[in-house]
Structure 1
Amino acid sequence: MKRGIAYAALAGAVWGLAIVVPSLLPEFSPLMLSCARFSLYGAFSLLLAAPQARELLQRLTWNDAALLVKLALTGNLIYFMLLASAIQWAGVASTALIVGLLPLTITLAGRGDADALPLRRLRWPLLLVFAGICCINLDTLLTAQSDSLELGQRALGLLCAFGALLCWTWFATDNARYLKGSRFNSSQWSTLWGITTGLMSALVWLLADGLALPGTQVEAGEQRWMLFWGLSLSSAVLGSWFGNRMWNASTRRLPLTLSGQLIVFETLFALLYGFISLKHLPSLLQSSAALLLLAGVLWAARRHLPQPH
């Protein structure tokens, strides 16, 4: 169990870096941000899979392939497009308020699994996690500057945030249940998942560019394009391949009622990176949020330990 928690923390550490990319590249559309990141993720995964390609293909079934397509859409391509759209249209504060509910929705989705704890035993840890999420979003709302986003655009952004929440809850549940009895190890499954995601992203990008859809044409200087590709490559290797591999290793070892709450590591590391970049200490509300989140997760982990007879 300790290794599973450590793997989840590593996943959160790199996801916390990747989640800031849409706010750093506002002139690039969610479609371009998503397709570039995941096409590079697919290319990197394909290189890693080359030495064992024949073995992986022989073990892959049609059911596996169908699940990989579903996971590629819900956990990567559609999720990141919705997340980037929500950040750019509704703002970071509103998006964080909604997507921050992932620890609760994933835990609730896994409540019926054989290795799940009854929710009554997790109600207090879950309450601490929820209180921490509220503190984070309250601080964000209080410190956010007023903007001129139109009502319709903001409403569309909020719908995207709810869609992202639904996508990743669905993904985390299906992926965790499959990995419990999978014929592939965490690294192999992450690689196959990456190849599938990359192929779908490249096809979507080619189709969108061929149809000249909005968001496929960007006017930006050379330095901004270099930053775009540099951040996309970093997100692909660290945020996608390495992060997904660590998350797979974690969910293989832990019940959903615990692994769902460990997604808070992404929030905690995103806060940490923000403090480092801004060169200031956290406020009282931010410190309280971090302590509540950590306390809730540690309490939940303790509840999952075998009880002495």
Structure 2
Amino acid sequence: MATSVEHIGASSSAGATARGVLAGAGAGALWGLVFLAPELAAGFGPLQLSIGRYLCYGAASVALIAPRLRAVLAALKRREWLSLAWLALTGNIVYYIFLAAAVQSGGAALTSLVMGFLPVLVTVIGSRDHGAVPLTRLLPSLLLCVAGGVCIGWQALAAPSSAATADRLLGLGYAVCALASWTTFAVANVRCLFRTRLSVHEWNLLTGLLTGGLAMLLVPISVFMDDWSRPAAEWLVLAGTSTGVALLASILGNALWNRASRLLPLTLVGQMILFETLFALLYAFAWEGRLPTALEVGAFGLITAGVVSCLSAHRRPSPV
């Protein structure tokens, strides 16, 4: 009987891991779209792009959570409000401003490269958790991820570009800031999801509600800093881009990510962010109308091998 129970527990754990990996891959596929948004609405600055996306995210969140808003608010404590505000700021507002600035200054490929190191950081931080897979067992996966990132970086930096060297360096700096912001969010979000009694869907919508409120505070700053005298056609492009990214990446993508964060340990959650890098590059190739180079194909292979290696490190031996 004990063996049967252990076998059932192992099967359940394997099923949860599979569902978590699928949710993480789906989130990455949707999040990869955010790298195209600054290209689609290239005439607008990072602040305007962030305001557009997160006002739409906030409005959609309010509409979806309205039927349960009173019950959800009654269950929230002060600590959870502060956590939601912190996550909305670091993982949405600050992150996307730096990401949009990085794409517009250094290009989508260079930005994807820097963000590709996010799984390494999150995995190293997660390895310090109690009961986590030791870092020594994760080392092959991390080395494969770094090798894949180096391939992408070599290609991105060596490829001919119309951007000036100073702009590319500035884009690199913005991308590093985006990396730091999203690493903070990824780790804090996992911690909060394990503490709260709310569902992952409710947590995502509350994050969107607060993000929309923060985006409204950015409007006066953007009016002072950016050019708002534009033709109606350009505003329609921004509205369409913002709505699409808000619904696909923020509502659906974040919901899938929160689901993965509850099903997987932090050391494995970090690896799931690699899917965002892969899909962002695939979308960039489609946007640029070209096939990947040999280095980029090699990077895909290395990153995929890194994820598989990480899954193997987390697999528990089957009971005899």
How has the CA–CA distance of structure 1 residues 146 and 273 changed in structure 2, closer, same or farther, with 3 Å as cutoff? Answer: closer
Question: Where does 1:227-238 land on structure 2 (aligned, <5 Å)?
Answer: 227-238=237-248
Report the counterpart of residue 176 of structure 1 in structure 2.
190
Please state whether the residue corresponding to 1:177 is helix, strand or coil.
helix
Residues of 2 paired with 1:169 and 1:147: CA distance?
28
How has the CA–CA distance of structure 1 residues 128 and 154 changed in structure 2, closer, same or farther, with 3 Å as cutoff? Answer: closer
1:132 aligns with one of 148, 155, 168: 148
Q: CA deviation at 1:298?
A: 1.1
Report the counterpart of residue 291 of structure 2 in structure 1.
281
- Is this contact kept in 2: 1:107–1:261, CA < 8 A? yes
Residues of 2 paired with 1:185 and 1:145: CA distance?
45
Q: CA deviation at 1:156?
A: 4.3
Report the counterpart of residue 163 of structure 1 in structure 2.
177
Report the counterpart of residue 267 of structure 1 in structure 2.
277
Q: Deviations over 1:222-264 (max 9, x none)?
A: 3322111101000111111111111000011111111111101
Report the counterpart of residue 299 of structure 1 in structure 2.
309
Q: Deviations over 1:117-146 (max 9, x none)?
A: 111001111111111111122222222414
Report the counterpart of residue 13 of structure 1 in structure 2.
29
- Is this contact kept in 1: 2:108–2:284, CA < 8 A? no
Structure 1, unpaired ranges of 5+: none
Report the counterpart of residue 120 of structure 2 in structure 1.
104
- Is this contact kept in 1: 2:109–2:284, CA < 8 A? no
Q: Deviations over 1:60-100 (max 9, x none)?
A: 11100000000001000000001111222334444333222
Matched, 1:255 2:265: yes
Report the counterpart of residue 11 of structure 2 in structure 1.
none
Question: Where does 1:1-309 land on structure 2 (aligned, <5 Å)?
Answer: 1-148=17-164, 151=166, 155-205=169-219, 207-208=220-221, 212-215=223-226, 217-308=227-318
Pairwise CA RMSD of aligned residues? 1.8
Residues of 1 paired with 2:304 and 2:135: CA distance?
19
- Is this contact kept in 1: 2:27–2:252, CA < 8 A? yes
- Is this contact kept in 1: 2:115–2:277, CA < 8 A? no
Please state whether the residue corresponding to 1:302 is helix, strand or coil.
helix
Give aligned pairs, total. 303
- Structure 2 residue identity aligned to 1:118: P
Residues of 1 paired with 2:44 and 2:77: CA distance?
37
- Is this contact kept in 2: 1:135–1:286, CA < 8 A? yes
Please state whether the residue corresponding to 1:260 is helix, strand or coil.
helix
Residues of 1 paired with 2:155 and 2:169: CA distance?
22
Residues of 1 paired with 2:229 and 2:302: CA distance?
44
Worse-superposed segment, 94-103 or 226-235:
94-103
Residues of 2 paired with 1:277 and 1:200: CA distance?
31
Residues of 1 paired with 2:282 and 2:108: CA distance?
16
TM-score (ref. length: structure 2): 0.89
- Is this contact kept in 2: 1:85–1:157, CA < 8 A? yes
Worse-superposed segment, 177-186 or 88-97:
88-97
How has the CA–CA distance of structure 1 residues 115 and 241 changed in structure 2, closer, same or farther, with 3 Å as cutoff? Answer: farther
Q: CA deviation at 1:305?
A: 1.3
Q: Deviations over 1:6-56 (max 9, x none)?
A: 000000011111221112222201000001100110000000011001110
TM-score (ref. length: structure 1): 0.92
Q: CA deviation at 1:277?
A: 4.1
Please state whether the residue corresponding to 2:247 is helix, strand or coil.
helix
